[in-house]
Structure 1
Amino acid sequence: MIVFIIALSVAVIVVREYSPKRGIKYEVTDASLTQFNLTSDKILKFNLAVTINVENPNKRSDFHYEKFEAVASYKHDSLMSVSIDPFEVEPKDKHPVSALFKGEQKMSLPNDEVSKMKTSTVYDIVLKLKVKHWAKYATIKIQENMKMACNLKVPLNSNGKSAVKFEVAKCEKA
């Protein structure tokens, strides 16, 4: 019985220490919006660049990201999806991930939202992350799929300057 309790305690400690679920932090540390224009036929032209920091708080295990997809949306309309190449985050380290969303998208905004949008200088953009990552301990591979949401308030830059500074946004499980 004592051997069983010791083995169970060791297993719990190992799983807690090496689990991909253990406190991984995602935050958007920078966002730049250089174009955000709505045409008369409700086509949004946008140019958004973001930097996402992925932090591994574990002391011993690397995190291997097989899939990392970011989807930017405005007022419930998806703007664009960007896939990031696979990468790895070392123990007690951060890995910056950059994504560029540039293009055009037909919007389904009511007229009152259109007028608000045209006068605004800061935009509420939601960045949704879909990730698949794994960590390994000896022969045990622990894998997880996660969905995160980052609520951003991104100021529009005109002529390379913005009246408001972007504030770091933490991402939460969606």
Structure 2
Amino acid sequence: MPEPHLNGAYYGPSIPPPKHYHRPGRGGGGSCNPFSCCCGCLCNCILSCIFQILCTIVVVLGIIILVLWLIFRPNKVKFYANDAELTQFDLSSTNNTLYYNLALNMTVRNPNKRIGIYYDRIEASAFYQGQRLKNVELDSFYQPHKNTSSLHAVFQGQQLVTLGSDEASNYKDDKNSGSYNIDVELYMRIRLKFGWVKSPKFKPKIKCDLEIPLNSNGTASGTFESKRCGLDW
């Protein structure tokens, strides 16, 4: 007589009970490709090393800059307009041409004890009522520490200017007073010297807002007052 199986079914002696199979889940959740795992770990390691190197470089550069600043203690260079002589400043009413002749003397003071300055290029420009009159190239030079150097610029010639009603009124006021408001700007390319180390080039701009009396036929309408110019890095 057939024997009952555990689940209550009866099978004959020659019929074995069915086998139960376990089908593995799809996707192979527990498997890992050794090659991809190694590549991912290697990339993470490289990125981490690069980040650490960059952080180290930034910290070292910051320390070097701080040490150099503590050693040299850089101070701003000082520019002064010491003397100016304006012998001609006439605006023609027929063709709006301005005839001018201006000579300007300036001094540059380097107050630093351990820093020298290379003035590789100096370009001086004169402006009146916001309009450029002329550009002048000055000689390049090296200025040692704790030194005062002189600059001399001459602006002479003629320039066509277009003055609006306000500018024309300002010109009349200047002419009546015998003193003219003229702006002089210096555009520079300089390098700093720390011992034997030279810095990259900087391009500071110097601006002088000047009130210059007219000196006509040897008679000046006023006295020029020395003025410190502004420095913009």
**Smaller-chain TM-score bracket:** 0.7 to 0.9
Unaligned runs of 5+ in 1: none
Q: Counterpart in 1 of 2:10?
A: none
Among 129, 136, 155, the alignment partner of 2:213 is 155
User: Which residue number corresponds to residue 53 of structure 1?
Assistant: 107
Residues 167, 31 of structure 1: alpha-carbon distance in 2 compared, 3 angstrom cutoff: same
Query: Where is the strand percentage greater, Structure 1 or Structure 2?
Result: 1
Deviations 1:88-147 (A, max 9, x none): 112111110000000000111134344334423010000011011112224532231101
Does 2:120 correspond to 1:66? Answer: yes
Deviates more, 1:153-162 or 1:71-80: 153-162
Q: Is the Cα–Cα contact under 8 Å of residues 174 and 181 in structure 2 kept in the other structure?
A: no
SS of match in other structure, 2:204: strand
**1:34 is matched with which residue: 87, 91, 95?**
87
CA, structure 1 residues 17+26, in 2 after alignment: closer, same or farther (shift >3 Å)?
Answer: farther
Q: Which residue of 1 aligns with 2:231?
A: 173
Question: What is the Cα deviation at residue 14 of structure 1?
Answer: 2.4
Q: 1:13 to 1:156 in 2, by over 3 A?
A: farther
| 1:137 alignment counterpart | 194
The aligned counterpart of 1:146 is 204
Matching of residue 124 in structure 1 with residue 177 in structure 2: no
Q: Which residue type is aligned with residue 149 of structure 1?
A: K
| Equivalent in 130, 140, 154 of residue 100 of structure 1 | 154
1:65-105 Cα shifts (integer Å, max 9, x gaps): 00111100000110001011111112111110000000000
- Is residue 18–residue 136 contact of structure 1 (8 Å, CA) maintained in 2? no
Q: TM-score, normalised by structure 2?
A: 0.65
Greater mean deviation of Cα atoms: 153-162 or 137-146: 137-146
Cα-Cα RMSD: 2.4
The alignment partner of 1:109 has SS state of coil
Deviation at 1:30, TM superposition (A): 0.6
Q: Partners in 1 of 2:146 and 2:123 — Cα distance?
A: 23
Q: Distance in 2 between matches of 1:114 and 1:136?
A: 44
Q: In the superposition, relative to structure 1, how do residues 16 and 159 fare at CA in structure 2: closer, same or farther (>3 Å)? A: farther
